[in-house]
A and B are shown apart, each in its own frame.
Chain A
């Protein structure tokens, strides 16, 4: 059974940092690109970042480029999102998603709150 489990969310002050993790199981991790998508309270879905199978190619939304870094450790079946210089508008539930021809499995999400 495919499982994606996010962790690492929490309350952080503006300007602070957090690292989110997404642990994958139940499939061959290295066969799939991975995405991070976020959802601010009461809002729609916003794509954040994507990484290819070996971590050599990563792309970002304009709203996070230069502040967030996506990476993966294929030995640990885990994808990460390092979030620096956090702003109030980064407050959201962050989901990781496995991608085949499109996203096919999603995690339950982890809440990030940026507030003083």
Chain B
């Protein structure tokens, strides 16, 4: 199974300041079709997951542009350019390149 390691596991942030979460994979996430199926999810307290990013860097409709994804191969990053209060929650990376699908452990973003 592909192991995804997120750092940090907890990230105290200041409103208006940037935040960054790293997701490192134990193996390349490049699929044989050339795509990299790495997604980022947000889970606010008491809420179901919400998808933010797919295929490394593509924001889903309705996701604020302060969220951005980058990376390639085995190293990926989610950045929040200016943290807002509503961004508090746990963020997960998820890979769908290889079965079984796996998640990172989650990074708690708190003010």
Contacts and interface: CB of A to CB of B under 8 A. Distances in A.
Interface in B57-111: 58, 60, 90, 92, 94, 96, 99-106
Contacts of B104: 44
What are the nearest 8 A-B pairs in CB distance?
A102-B39, A102-B54, A47-B101, A101-B54, A44-B106, A45-B103, A106-B48, A101-B55
B100 A59 contact: yes
Contacts of B105: 44
Interface of A: 35, 37, 44-47, 50, 59-62, 95, 97, 99-109
B51 to A, nearest CB: 5
A95 B92 CA distance: 15
Given A47-B100, A95-B48, A108-B48, A102 B55 contact: yes
Given A61-B100, A103-B39, A104-B60, 19 more contacts: A37-B49, A44-B104, A44-B105, A44-B106, A45-B43, A45-B103, A47-B102, A50-B101, A59-B100, A62-B100, A95-B49, A97-B51, A102-B55, A103-B41, A103-B51, A103-B94, A105-B51, A106-B51, A108-B48
Contacts of B14: none
A60 B1 CA distance: 12
Contacts of B58: 101
Contacts of B51: 97, 102-106
